[in-house]
Structure 1
Amino acid sequence: MTTERYYYDFFGARSESRWNVEKDIPWGEIDREAALSQPDILDKVRRTALIESYHALGTVSLIKLLHEDVDATSVFQVECFEGFRHFWSLRRYLDLVGFEPRITDEELVEIRRRNIEHVNYKPEDTVQELVNFIWSEHAAGYFARQLGAQCKDPVLAKLLGFISVDEFRHAEGGYQILTKLLERQPELKPEVLRAASNFKHYGWHVCELPVAVENDFTTVLQMKRKFEKVCGARIVSWREGWANG
């Protein structure tokens, strides 16, 4: 599939998988008692919402970094919109069930003030930040799917299911941006492997990362294989003189 064809399919899939916060989430059917019986899950939902709010810094900075790549900026614009849809729907859910502490605008502003210096990306950061984006989105999709399976309240499970699908699509969009970049500049492949071995989830600047299942490395192995496939070598190979794996 050509990259041009992929982006047509990407935006087509985005349209087909579109969900409406008002129409597709049965807010009036929330089982508040069931939700509050799982405070650990609600705490993870709260942290997820805080991380989603970070797109105002992180993803916007990626758009600036890749402003000459029309396809990339289009994908990231979609990510910004859908990321904030995730944030507002998760925040709304937490408010409706009455989970404390509530997310406040003051808390969100403080997170942004604390992290503004972390998103002052430079051109030489392009590969690392793109890899961080891809891996973070894939991890978010896997996390939402796993957490949804643990929820007693079916409304939260449904919401997390929608979010999971979005996150996996964002990751794939980023992966195609990376693939296109390497087609133009194959000499960047060692840098991609270095970036993958030094991956940092963009949410770690915001709060302690929520984990749905302890010691589950499935998402790490999945992304490791994808980066190795696009580069044609193992991630450890760049340390060994770029030997084909």
Structure 2
Amino acid sequence: MLYPELFKQLESVRWDMDKDIPWASFDASKLTDEQAQTIKMNAITEWSALPATEMFLRDNKDDSDFSAFMSIWFFEEQKHSLVLMEYLRRFRPELAPTEKELHEVRFEFEPAPALETLMLHFCGEIRLNHWYRRASEWHTEPVIKQIYTQLSQDEARHGGAYLRYMKRAINNFGNDARAAFTKVGVLMASARRTAQALHPTNLHVNKDLFPRDTIQSRLPNPEWLEHWLDKQINFDAVWEGKVVERILHNMSLLMNQSFKTVQELNRYRKELGKEITASMAVKPASTSP
């Protein structure tokens, strides 16, 4: 089991919201209304770890190890929402999310293949790590800069934990796991070709609720994410390239290959598909007793 080791590892670096956040260093002159509004949207978005955890537990009911790890992931992600709300409560109380606004992002995600979802969230952690690093640079108020740095480091650690479960899946399921991971990897590393940000909170997850079946669509300002990325933290092609580079690097490690481009990863994905099809074709047909 990975859970006991991951618990010890993440427990050893866990930060304390009272002791490790420099609340006394707050400088009101360095926080704009525009910046404060983005903190509210991030707080609500982080609250969506609640429905994501419900999805993970449902779709991994046969995997107690991974389900136990969700206790760590859920705690730390909800803590992200809480520390952002605490910041607003202290310094911009009129912008603190209401319980109704938080509950709006809790809705059911449709069942999905567990391995593809694992890869999707692994890529999501990489992307969020980079978004928050950029947010820390954009903000000018020292306390919130430190908070975003803290959150970005947590997201990197979560990505590392997901990677451990992905390695385990390859050991257990071989090419089926490789196919699932490369399929989603190609999608998530191709954000430059899409009109919207590729992150779990911006993907459609319940066709019965369409078009309000993404986390972002249920925020007080559904257009916020693209504006935050493009006009505020300026998550440009250079930063997007950093995300793609990390996805390709980790895919290279997982597959014992070398992927320098998304195209190379996609070719490998297609080759895997041919191998899986060929292996299924040569399996002996089952015989009746």
User: TM-score, normalization: structure 2?
Assistant: 0.72
Residues 151-176 of structure 1 deviation map (CA, whole Å, 9 limit, x = unaligned): 22211111112211111111111111
Q: How far off its partner does 1:101 sit?
A: 4.3
The corresponding residue for 1:50 is 44
Residues 96-124 of structure 1 deviation map (CA, whole Å, 9 limit, x = unaligned): 22276441111122222xxx24x1324xx
Q: Which has the higher contact order (CA 8 A, sep 6+)?
A: 1
Match of 2:40, SS state, is helix
The corresponding residue for 2:159 is 171
Indicate if the aligned counterparts of 2:3 and 2:68 stay in contact, CA closer than 8 A.
no
Task: Please tell me whether residue 156 in structure 1 is matched to residue 150 in structure 2.
Answer: no
* Residue segments in structure 2 that go unaligned for 5+ positions in a row: 189-197, 203-213, 217-223, 258-263, 276-289
The corresponding residue for 2:252 is 228
Q: Pick which of 183-192 and 61-70 moved more.
A: 61-70
Indicate if the aligned counterparts of 1:137 and 1:170 stay in contact, CA closer than 8 A.
yes
The aligned amino acid for 2:215 is V
Q: Distance in 2 between matches of 1:220 and 1:74?
A: 30
The corresponding residue for 1:23 is 19
Indicate if the aligned counterparts of 1:128 and 1:192 stay in contact, CA closer than 8 A.
yes
Q: How far off its partner does 1:7 sit?
A: 5.2
Equivalent residue for 1:86, pick from 58, 80, 84: 80
Task: Please tell me whether residue 193 in structure 1 is matched to residue 215 in structure 2.
Answer: no
Q: How many aligned positions are there?
A: 232
Q: Distance in 2 between matches of 1:81 and 1:75?
A: 10
Residues 186-224 of structure 1 deviation map (CA, whole Å, 9 limit, x = unaligned): 021122211222334111122243433222221122112
Indicate if the aligned counterparts of 1:41 and 1:147 stay in contact, CA closer than 8 A.
no
Equivalent residue for 2:215, pick from 206, 228, 244: 206
Equivalent residue for 2:59, pick from 53, 61, 65: 65
Residues 22-65 of structure 1 deviation map (CA, whole Å, 9 limit, x = unaligned): 122132331122112xx444333322212210011012211222
Indicate if the aligned counterparts of 1:127 and 1:195 stay in contact, CA closer than 8 A.
no
Indicate if the aligned counterparts of 2:46 and 2:80 stay in contact, CA closer than 8 A.
yes
Q: How far off its partner does 1:8 sit?
A: 5.1
- The 1:12/1:97 distance shift into structure 2, 3 A limit, reads same
Q: Distance in 1 between matches of 2:270 and 2:59?
A: 30
The corresponding residue for 1:110 is 104
- The 1:235/1:153 distance shift into structure 2, 3 A limit, reads same
Match of 1:230, SS state, is helix
Q: Distance in 2 between matches of 1:197 and 1:62?
A: 22
* Residue segments in structure 1 that go unaligned for 5+ positions in a row: none
The corresponding residue for 2:30 is 34
Q: Distance in 2 between matches of 1:239 and 1:25?
A: 44
Q: Distance in 1 between matches of 2:161 and 2:131?
A: 18
